[in-house]
């Protein structure tokens, strides 16, 4: 009898039914008082941010040559942060420098190819883009304005290739200037003793509320417990500039003052974006914006940072009206901003028919980091498949800065160069374009193809 009872008890234990009690299997989520003790703010912060953190796998040439004398590929790793639901990702410039292939692995395991949209070597930040059918989770932005020395912070990233690794530490110091080498000095970094390892670069440094306060960037070689992160305010400024300049090719004639505060001590950061400067005759000026206006929304995107403002104008067409909501003297007002028309009528049509591109003039600020002597260029906004420009390897977002021996800063410049080329009888026309903070050169074919290459 005792044997039968013991056997029945064991069967009940395996089935979760023993002695009239329910036993939770290991795969069931924990519950009860002990679970709530374990579910700390750190656990909650990681759960909140995880979906907006991606792993970056890259390949670059530069290894030992193979049997054919060709350089082998070097595999690299890093981390990225989703800043826009359409697939825009911020990371470090050094993560994507000189890479030939980029792959992004989302938190759910899906792997997608990525391209570099823009980069800023000076701040060591870069903007990537992936194409995904569904809206993606974005990171929650915090602030360093109330960040405290000794405060708990969390580093999340692809440490040594171990995806979504989490480490915890404290803020060791603020506003550290760190010279990595003669060419690169980081300014006003956050110092932390949270373990930051190779592969963590480009990932978020979080506070205990799951808000990003920095972008992990560097470690001190030979030291333990000394890592650094770029403040989130720097990331916001640089990211908004990269989105605006790269996707439109021209500015909207507006500058902002950003304010961040925390009305409740343990509540989320609340942000305001205030108009600080307007250029007469610009898109923003014509829309009716005034100094001191608070930007509330652009289209259907609430504005909490300058990134949101730029995101609201992504992929808009020339002539399209974009609805704005602003707060002026405590009252919300609706305005409309009309996007500039890309190109000049007549000239634009001729360029499209003969070369297969639509261009928008851009100022020197878009190209001066590549070459301070350049006076601007022509940003390629559209490209016709199988056109001479497409066969030459030009891409949307490229900035055409030179054809033959002439600088390209207007539609008239481009047509002059094309007319001169036809009169010369040559089959190709040398060109220079800016792409990913580099100047590429090649030749646009009228009869044969010469691909782009680094000068």
120 is catalytic: no
Q: Where are the alpha helices (DSSP H) in 249-387?
A: 283-286, 306-311, 347-354
Classify 390 as helix, strand or coil. Answer: helix
* CB atoms closer than 10 angstroms to residue 378: 26
Cβ partners under 8 Å of residue 415, min gap 6:
347, 350, 351
Rounded to whole angstroms, the Cα distance separating 245 from 239 reads 10
Answer yes or no: are the C-beta atoms of 346 and 357 closer than 8 Å.
Answer: no
Structure tokens that stand for 422 in this block: 């036809």
Helix, strand and coil content of the chain, in percent to the nearest 5, comes to: 20, 40, 40
Rounded to whole angstroms, the Cα distance separating 96 from 60 reads 9
66 is catalytic: no
Active-site residue, from 58, 84, 124, 436: 124
Q: At what angle do helices 347-354 and 411-424 cross, to 10 degrees?
A: 40
Q: Which of 265, 262, 209, 271 is nearest to 236 (CA)?
A: 271
Cα separations (Å) of 384 from 360, 380, 404? 16, 11, 22
Rounded to whole angstroms, the Cα distance separating 189 from 144 reads 10
Across 214-228, b (16+ Cβ under 10 Å) vs e yields bbbbbbeeeeeebbb
Question: Strand locations in 66-132, DSSP E?
Answer: 71-84, 88-91, 101-105, 111-113, 115-120, 125-129
Bridge partners for 258 per DSSP: 273
Answer yes or no: are the C-beta atoms of 304 and 238 closer than 8 Å.
Answer: no
Answer yes or no: are the C-beta atoms of 316 and 339 closer than 8 Å.
Answer: yes
Active-site residue, from 201, 240, 348, 379: 201
375 is catalytic: no
Active-site residue, from 94, 164, 404, 411: 94
Residues involved in catalysis: 94, 124, 201
């Amino acid at each position: 009898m005792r044997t039968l009872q013991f056997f029945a008890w064991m069967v009940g234990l395996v089935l979760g039914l023993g002695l009239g009690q329910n036993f939770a299997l290991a795969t069931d989520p924990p519950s009860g008082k002990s679970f709530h003790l374990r579910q700390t703010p750190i656990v909650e912060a990681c759960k909140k941010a995880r979906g907006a953190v991606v792993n970056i796998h890259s390949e670059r040439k530069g290894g030992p040559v193979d049997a054919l004398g060709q350089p082998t590929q070097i595999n690299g790793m890093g981390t990225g942060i989703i800043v826009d639901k359409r697939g825009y990702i911020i990371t470090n410039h050094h993560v994507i420098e000189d890479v030939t292939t980029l792959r992004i692995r989302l938190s759910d395991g899906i792997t997608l190819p990525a391209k570099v949209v823009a980069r800023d070597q000076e701040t060591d930040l870069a903007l990537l883009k992936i194409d995904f059918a569904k809206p993606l989770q974005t990171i929650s932005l915090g602030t360093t304005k109330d960040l405290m020395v000794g405060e708990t912070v969390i580093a999340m990233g692809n440490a040594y290739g171990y995806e979504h690794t989490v480490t915890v530490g404290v803020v060791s110091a603020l506003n550290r200037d760190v010279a990595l080498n003669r060419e690169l000095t980081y300014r006003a970094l956050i110092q932390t003793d949270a373990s930051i390892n190779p592969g963590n670069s480009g990932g978020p440094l979080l506070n205990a509320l799951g808000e990003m306060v920095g972008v992990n960037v560097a470690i001190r070689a030979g030291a333990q417990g000394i890592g650094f992160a770029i403040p989130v305010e720097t990331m916001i400024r640089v990211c908004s500039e990269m989105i605006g300049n790269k996707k439109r090719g021209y500015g909207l004639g507006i500058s902002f003052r950003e304010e961040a505060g925390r009305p409740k001590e343990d509540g989320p950061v609340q942000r305001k974006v205030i108009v600080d400067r307007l250029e007469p005759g610009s898109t923003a000026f014509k829309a009716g914006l005034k100094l001191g206006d608070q930007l509330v929304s652009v289209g259907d995107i609430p504005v909490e940072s300058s990134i949101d403002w730029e995101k609201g104008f992504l992929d808009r067409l020339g002539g399209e009206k974009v609805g704005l909501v602003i707060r002026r003297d405590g009252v919300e007002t609706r305005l409309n901003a009309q996007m500039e028309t890309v190109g000049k009528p007549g000239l634009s049509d001729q360029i499209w028919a003969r070369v297969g591109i639509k261009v928008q003039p851009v100022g020197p600020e878009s190209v001066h980091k590549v070459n301070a002597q350049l006076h601007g260029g022509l940003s390629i906004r559209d490209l016709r498949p199988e056109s001479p420009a497409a066969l030459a390897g030009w891409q949307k977002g490229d900035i055409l800065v030179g054809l033959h021996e002439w600088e390209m800063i207007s539609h008239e410049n481009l047509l002059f160069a094309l007319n001169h080329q036809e009169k010369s009888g040559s089959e190709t026309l040398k060109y220079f374009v800016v792409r990913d903070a580099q100047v590429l050169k090649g030749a646009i074919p009228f009869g044969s193809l010469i691909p782009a290459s680094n000068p």
